[in-house]
Structure 1
Amino acid sequence: MADVVNLRQFKKRKARAEHDAAAEQNRLLHGRTKADKQRDRLEADNATRFIDAHRRERSDSGDTDT
C-alpha cells in the first residue's frame, strides 16, 4: 500500500522549496558582497575628488570676482 501523505504539510513543504529556489536565484542575480559595495563607493569618492581637484574655478569662498 501507499503511504498516507498529509496534503497540508506537503503543500507547505513545496511552497518553502519554491520560495528558497527563488531566493537563491535572486541572490545570484542581484546580490553583492560588502567588499563590492565598499569598492564601488571608494571608486565614486575618488572620481568626485579627482573632478573637484581639477576644476578651473573654485567656488570655496562664494565670492565672485566681477
Structure 2
Amino acid sequence: MAEIVNLRSVRKAKQRSDKANEASANRAKFGMSKADKMQTMADKVRAARQLDGAKLERD
C-alpha cells in the first residue's frame, strides 16, 4: 500500500532545500566578507615581504 503524504509539507520541504541550494551558490559566488578579504590580503603581503627579506643577494 502507498504511503500517505501531505503535499503541503512536501512542497515546503522542497522550497527549503531550493533556498538552501541557492544560498550555498551565493556563498560560493560572493565569497568572503570585506574583513576576511583584507585579512587574506595582509597575510599575502606579509608572507611576500618575509620571503623577500630572506632572499640572499648574489653578485
Which TM-score bucket, shorter chain as reference?
0.5 to 0.7
Q: TM-score, normalised by structure 1?
A: 0.52
Q: State percent identity of aligned pairs.
A: 34
Task: Provide the rounded CA distance (Å) in 1 between the counterparts of 2:40 and 2:11.
Answer: 43
Compare the two structures and name the one with the higher helix fraction: 2
User: How big is the alpha-carbon RMSD for the aligned residues of Structure 1 and Structure 2?
Assistant: 1.9
Q: Give aligned pairs, total.
A: 41
Q: TM-score, normalised by structure 2?
A: 0.58
Task: Provide the rounded CA distance (Å) in 1 between the counterparts of 2:2 and 2:38.
Answer: 53
Question: Deviation above 6 Å: which 4+ runs of structure 1?
Answer: none
Structure 2 spans left out of the alignment, 5+ residues = 43-59
| 2:23 pairs with 1:23 | yes
